[in-house]
Chain A
């Protein structure tokens, strides 16, 4: 089994076991080996399995990738090779052929990428873990998975031990307010309508939740106007010229976001928009 050891000076910062997938190296947090140093490009290089060997390939990085002090764009890796990226060194160890008993060093197995570019699905738990890792990186902390497990309690004892991948709370859904239309004048089936759905239809259609009533001589359109809800905001749009849609008294021929206190007029029915708590 091949391994990569990320070193700075003499200190081993990280050890990665290579699966037959791709390991990316770079400054940005989406790299499997993140090297947070200005000398390293965002996506600096990648190391991957090719038919029967591992290769390293430079991604047109600014400062280049060096294998055993030779600048390379792409090179085959053999046991003991040293890859220089910025000021950091990655040692490649191909231990596959060595018959030594397996060393029980804590290694970080990369999320398996079984085939290059083949789509894979993460189960919900793993997805949450990876999201938590990304969040931790974003917040400037070390990735939770890098925290040594079973490490002794910290001196202070007040900090809860950083267990790897704490169950990420589901993103707190932004509190969504529900809009409401109150009928000011005109004939409808209800005095007020809570806009709880993603799409509220105003018209004569059986699908319409705000039913317009016509007279013997003047029938409202099946779908006169619609109010759609997108990410907590409401938008109104005309669907039929005969509906004569007006927003705050002015003709409306395109979609418009509704603001608290707006009045809309459709086929002679006037309604006021507000948020309902």
Chain B
């Protein structure tokens, strides 16, 4: 069995913001997908999120194309695959570059970005994240959040200090406790899993997920005839709910690839650099 993917991504200013600090990119040749949500005034957020996407894509293009090896940055994590470690390394690399660039530039203090990234090889799938952007898995008729937000309120929920309802009402929802580029080093949470044909991965910035609940995400993705229409529907739903932040989503559908497509042309490879 050979698996292939379809992908669509879209980013929107939302209804209030005048600049887009979100960014995304992917390269299906290397099976890598990234969404970043930047923060920090004076265009610093835009710079940080763009750097995040570019550096991570570049990491996999180099490793997959020229050397065939994933360079290790920092301490390898135990108990996870080489693929997951590659994601963690690429994120540490992006962190270092953003941090170094920010420390040279006094005006850019407070610059940082979240990141969610996924990488697939055959039916093996690894994910990694830092911050409060999320990855969801839509399998058959269910949706599951695969990432735990690195936000102050969700950390408090996990430690049993406040309830989920209190978290949803909290005024501190905008505070995240891990970000790319805000400190010298960063540890991403990584996970390994198996993909099944028909699975859909959703990578999204909080501009989507704070306005559309899990059940809404599932309904909109399932209800749209194509992935790009699903992206549009998701963004529209977040805008209809107020859209007070930039909204970004990337949808990846895993498909079984018929043998004749594998043998006679795969169609054009798809990739999208940062926007």
Contact = CB atoms under 8 A, between A and B. Distances in A.
Interface residues of A, number: 43
B194 A118 contact: no
B33 to A, nearest CB: 19
Interface stretch (B51-59, B150-158, B217-225, B227-235): B150-158
Interface residues of B, number: 46
Interface string B193-223: 1101000000000100000000000000000
Contact of B172 (A30, A118, A171, A201): A30
A249 B61 CA distance: 46
Nearest to B151: A119
A207 B81 contact: yes
Contacts of A201: 124, 194
Contacts of A165: none
A230 to B, nearest CB: 9
A199 B176 contact: no
A165 B188 CA distance: 26
A43 B173 CA distance: 14
A113 interface: yes
B178 A121 contact: yes
A30 B159 contact: no
Nearest to B131: A121
Contacts of A197: 79-81, 192
A22 B110 contact: no
Contacts of A30: 153, 156, 162, 166-167, 169-172
A146 interface: no
Interface string A1-43: 0000000000000000000001010001111100000000011
A121 B192 contact: no
B192 A124 contact: no
A134 interface: yes
A121 B177 CA distance: 6
A46 B206 CA distance: 23
A119 B196 CA distance: 35
Contacts of A43: 169, 171
B179 interface: yes
B177 to A, nearest CB: 4
Nearest to A115: B41
B138 to A, nearest CB: 16
B75 to A, nearest CB: 16
List 3 tightest A-B contacts by C-beta distance, closest first. Answer: A199-B192, A121-B179, A127-B177
Interface of A: 22, 24, 28-32, 42-43, 46, 111, 113-115, 117-124, 127, 130-131, 134-135, 137-138, 171, 196-199, 201, 207, 222-223, 226, 228-229, 237, 239
30 contacts: A30-B167, A30-B171, A114-B41, A114-B110, A118-B174, A119-B114, A119-B132, A119-B176, A120-B175, A121-B176, A121-B182, A122-B152, A122-B176, A124-B177, A130-B152, A131-B152, A131-B161, A134-B161, A137-B161, A138-B160, A138-B161, A138-B162, A171-B159, A197-B81, A198-B80, A198-B192, A199-B80, A201-B194, A207-B124, A229-B79
Interface of B: 37, 39, 41, 78-81, 84, 110, 112, 114, 122-124, 131-132, 152-153, 155-156, 159-162, 166-167, 169-172, 174-179, 182-183, 191-194, 196, 206, 244-245
